[in-house]
Structure 1
Amino acid sequence: MDNDRKITWLTSFSHFITHGYMTLLPAVLVVIAGEQSLSLLHLGIIANVGYFLYGIGSFPAGWLADRFGSKLLLTVGIFGMSIASILVGFSFSMPAFAVAYALLGAFASIHHPAGLALVARRVTVKGKCLGIHGVLGNVGLTTAPLFASLCVLLFGSWRAAYIVCGLGGLLLGMVFQMSRIEGEPDFSLSSLKRLNRPYSASGPVPAAPEPVQPVPLVIPVALLLLFVDSILSGFIFRGSLTFFPALLQREVLFITNHETPVVMAGFVTTAVLSLGVIGSFFGGYLNDKMKTPELLPIIIFTIVTPTLYFLSRLSDFRLLAAGCLFSLVYYAWQPSQNYLIVQHTRRASHGFGFGINFFLIFGIGSIATAVGGYMSDQYGVDRFYGLMAIVSGAALVCSITTMTVRNRQIRLPWRVGRTG
């Protein structure tokens, strides 16, 4: 297998399993709450810590990938997620569950900066690779609730989902370890001794730095607004993923009355979220076709805002129809956001821009789990969807503002150094 194909499939399956691990919890949230005698608020706070680490870990993960190699770090991440998942499955107290889930979030944070850096450095035909990478990530995201529900049905326990996924992750980790990628160091115990000898993605590390030329610090206004959108959309992303199964169990009669409502809610959640694969594909496709790509987020949030409101008000099959529309449209936002960040950052700053973006989406946006847990306990999960409609409205206003100021920049009064 050539280098491009090898990297494509390795990073894509890493993306698949990363999103899978982080989406198991919503399908078994109610079961865990009952077994551990926890409120949704307490579980939401535990999940919030894991999701926050999932986001903030992208900063050190990106730096470590640049310093020691992306393939090495991805291998560490997969083994770490797998072991943490098994620990979640064997946690029989709330503190043990909280620590294990925090570890899962921390190791999951490695994939996005390290995986995308590996593609950027080593793959010749990047577009096709990123397309497969995105599709498998969405497949992992949509099939995890189904898998968790099947484990509850077959084994009678939510723990089986985490243990089985952990064992599967160990197998993928071994595949990573045995695979060789040209120019990328492999993980080994001896590699730990080389931590003081940084790896260079472009060749030998220069003995002395190149001359530094001061350049003015210019920040596009649109980029700052895109980062605000990242926080708002991250809230919607995490909130809708975490609490959709709970909404179905409460508001859809045939699920509520089913003998195993958790299993049925997982099946239906998978079916609804699977439409996001289509949305993600068309989001990337439309970006290449639109003369003003800043229009696409406006269109997305114009549809998503009332849809979230209807999700808070409807029930039964009308709720399912609204959920399908939400998944079909909302998941076009991520490729659109990635495209716009590339447009509004310098080539040398793409990695840093994506690092901030993932932190804001997965880290700051993760507060939705704690907020959603509190509102679900106190007022009902439907009220939380009403709050997400308001957040989506704010994202719409932010997207409109982004388009109107897309050519404006902030020039700061100091200068920064740049090599070369």
Structure 2
Amino acid sequence: MNRNDRAIVALVMLAHGMVHTYELSIPIFVSIWLTEFDVVNLGVTQLEVTAATLGLVVTAGYGLFGVGALPGGVLVDRVGSRRLIGLCLFGMSASFLLLGLAPSVVVITLALLLWGAAASVYHPAGLALISKGVEERGTGFAYHGIAGNVGIGLGPLLTAILLLFFEWQLVAGVLAIPALVAGAYATRAQFDETAAVAADGGDAGDSKADSGVDSLAEFLGESKRMFAGGFVVVFLVVMCSGLYYRGILTFLPNLLEGIPTFRPIPLAAFLPAGVAEALGVEAGSGRTLQPERYFYSGLLIVGVVGQYVGGKLTDRIPVEWGIVGSFGVLAALAVVFLPVANAGLVPLLALGAVLGCFLFVIQPFYQATVAEYTPAGTRGLSYGFTYLGVFGVGALGGAVAGTILTYSTPAVLFLTLAGFATVGAGLGLYLVRQRGSRAEAGATAD
């Protein structure tokens, strides 16, 4: 990599890790908010704080994270990636600072909406920056993905560790600092955003294949053309993935609290006497180690392996079969989750490792499928719709999970999640048949 490549990759790695650090720290706070707050005061009325109401709150923030990807992609072409990434980082910092000051669920909602709006612009900005500015593009994308997975795993782990010693408001405020520092770095970073385009040939960036859509009419026309073809099925596939992903992760720490294996451990008893004294943790202080938070973090860290395996498999098997197989495993895991969770620690740890792996194995498959079922000229637009499906529509998984946990049982939730995965597998089989039909048609034409 040359100097320009390294400067860009350093920024996008930092920002990508931050986005997913905050994204997946939120479910840990949800389990605290369920006990911290009793009502949502809306002025004219009050609502009881339940898994259903918090599910809607989290869905609002996560939903904006996905919905904002489409206008974010338009802004990238108007404002530039570096500036948008800086605004993203400062916005996420401000949102967690507001979260740390939140006296009520209403303010928590505003903080999560601010986070969703700020974070939504990152993926189109970061991916566009790599594609236009990094000459060793493949390496840049690889490092970018690794940084995202580090944030996915270590962000919740850092949050869980900080919550051992500090109240959640202070932890949220502390988490605001890294994004603030990263935002300051983004404003000072020096690089050429279009170096790779220039290297490929002076006006390459002006071609239709690179510029995407330039007007509302063109946007509507290209969108209609995409959804008239196979992409409509791919979009339903990514929706199923997002609904399963958000549905199982949003309340997972809270679900695990009720499992006997994860009883809280008094922190004073867990730490050596000298260490406990140095940290000011006294016996009877009420501070406890919450094992379910570390299980959740570990499950996400395993996702690094899943991403790598999935990426390798996309080069070795048809992506449609990869989607069928991945969803099939996810459906089976949802069905057996509760029985295995109650069978003891070792089976639960094994199940968590497999679940963490397959939650992320499927991502390279659907990303590669998008590329196979969309024209190169609107590839950026197609990935914008992909993020809308995964993060936007998929955010409803949190609301679905919260509603089920409030008015029904965890068993119903996991059966619902199995249903999402089963539908996804069925859609994958449809794509397999379509691929076979196209191959037969091509052979007949020859």
The answer to whether TM tops 0.5 is: yes
**Given residue 305 of structure 1, which amino acid in structure 2 is its aligned partner?**
A
Aligned length: 386
Which of 377, 381, 384 lines up with 1:348 in the alignment? 377
**1:161/1:257 Cα in 2 relative to 1: closer, same or farther (>3 Å)?**
closer
1:383 aligned to 412, 422, 443, which one? Answer: 412
How far, CA to CA, are the matches of 1:111 and 1:257 in structure 2? Answer: 37
Q: What is the CA–CA distance in structure 2 between the aligned matches of 1:124 and 1:233, rounded to whole Å?
A: 32
- Whether the aligned pair in 1 keeps the contact of 2:248 and 2:401 (CA below 8 Å) is no
Q: Work out the CA distance in 2 between the residues paired with 1:217 and 1:99.
A: 37
After superposition, residues 75-90 of structure 1 pair within 5 angstroms as: 75-90=86-101
Conserved 8 A contact 2:264-2:289:
no
1:324-363 mapped onto 2 (5 Å cutoff): 324-363=353-392
- Alpha-carbon distance between aligned partners in 1 of 2:29 and 2:411, rounded to the nearest angstrom: 19
2:178 maps to 1:168? yes
C-alpha distance in 2 between matches for 1:170 and 1:159? 17
Aligned to 2:325: 299
| Residues 49, 262 of structure 1: alpha-carbon distance in 2 compared, 3 angstrom cutoff | farther
1:188 corresponds to: none
Q: Are residues 241 and 103 of structure 1, via their aligned partners in 2, closer, same or farther at CA, if it must alter by over 3 Å?
A: same
What is the letter of the counterpart of residue 21 of structure 2? Answer: G
* 1:252-283, Cα deviation, whole Å (9 max, x unpaired): x2313434667321112111221110010111
- 2:102 pairs with 1:91: yes
Instruction: Encode CA deviations 1:134-159: one digit per residue, 9 max, x unaligned.
Output: 1211121122221221121111x112
Is the 8 Å Cα contact of residues 160 and 294 (structure 2) preserved in structure 1?
yes
2:23 — aligned with what? 22
Give the one of 107, 116, 120 matched to 1:109: 120
Pick closer, same or farther for the CA change 1:150–1:183 going to 2, 3 Å.
closer
Q: Relative to structure 1, is the Cα distance of residues 275 and 218 closer, same or farther in structure 2, using a 3 angstrom cutoff?
A: closer
Q: Does 1:270 align with 2:281?
A: no
1:286 alignment partner in structure 2: 313
Greater CA radius of gyration, 1 or 2? Answer: 2
> How far apart, in 1, do the equivalents of 2:103 and 2:246 lie?
25
Among 142, 145, 154, which residue is 1:131 paired with?
142
Instruction: Report matched runs for 1:130-149 at 5 Å.
Output: 130-149=141-160
Matched, 1:65 2:73: no
Alignment partners' CA distance in 1, 2:230 and 2:308? 24
Does residue 161 of structure 2 align to residue 150 of structure 1? yes
Partner residue, 2:434: 405
The equivalent residue for 1:179 is 189
SS of equivalent to 1:311: helix
CA contact (8 A) 1:310 1:319 kept: no
The question of 1:321 aligning with 2:332 is answered: no
Alignment partner, residue 258 of structure 1: 265
**Kept after mapping to 1: 8 A contact 2:240/2:424:** yes
Distance change (3 Å), C-alpha of 1:201 and 1:55: farther
CA distance in 1, matches of 2:178, 2:328: 40
Q: CA deviation at 1:227?
A: 0.3
User: What is the TM-score normalised by the length of structure 1?
Assistant: 0.86
Alpha-carbon distance change, 384 to 286 in structure 1, aligned in 2, over 3 angstroms: same
Q: Which residue of 1 aligns with 2:33?
A: 32
Amino acid at match of 2:338: S
The 1-side partners of 2:424 and 2:307 are apart by 18
Task: Give the letter for the 1:269 counterpart.
Answer: Y
How large is the RMSD of aligned CA atoms in angstroms? Answer: 2.6
Amino acid paired to 2:163:
V
Shift of 1:165: 1.5
Shift of 1:88: 0.9
Q: What CA distance in whole angstroms lies between the structure 2 residues aligned with 1:45 and 1:183?
A: 38
Whole-angstrom distance in 2 between the partners of 1:20 and 1:116: 18
CA distance in 2: counterparts of 1:162 and 1:218, whole angstroms: 41
SS in structure 1 of the partner of residue 152 of structure 2 = helix
Deviation at 1:293, TM superposition (A): 2.3
**2:276 paired residue number:** none
The one-letter amino acid of 1:387's match is: T
Kindly provide the amino acid, as one letter, of the partner of residue 239 in structure 2. I
The answer to whether the 8 Å contact 2:124/2:384 transfers is yes
> Corresponding residue for 1:240?
248
Aligned residue identity for 2:378: S
Structure 2: stretches of 5+ with no match in the other structure:
39-48, 196-202, 267-286, 439-446
CA distance in 2 between counterparts of 1:75 and 1:82 reads 11
- CA-CA distance at 1:201 after TM superposition: 9.6
The answer to whether the 8 Å contact 2:299/2:356 transfers is: yes
Q: How far 1:228 sits from its partner (Å)?
A: 0.2
Structure 1 residues 345, 407: closer, same or farther in 2, change over 3 A? farther
CA contact under 8 A between 2:81 and 2:193: conserved in structure 1? no
* Cα distance, 1:224–1:403 mapped onto 2, change above 3 Å: same
The answer (yes or no) to whether the contact 2:11–2:186 under 8 Å persists in 1 is yes
Instruction: Go from structure 1 to structure 2 and tell me whether the alpha carbon gap of 1:387 and 1:80 turns closer, same or farther (over 3 Å shift).
Output: same
What secondary structure sits across from 1:181 in the alignment?
coil
Structure 1 residues 201 and 159: alpha-carbon distance in aligned structure 2, compared to 1, 3 A threshold: farther
Equivalent in 302, 309, 317 of residue 335 of structure 2: 309
- 2:56 corresponds to 1:45: yes
Residue 23 of structure 1 aligns with an amino acid whose one-letter code is L
CA distance in 2, matches of 1:336, 1:262: 37
Contact 1:80 1:104 in 2 (8 A): yes
Distance, in Å, in 2 between the alignment partners of 1:351 and 1:105 is 21
Task: Tell me the amino acid that sits aligned with residue 312 of structure 2.
Answer: Y
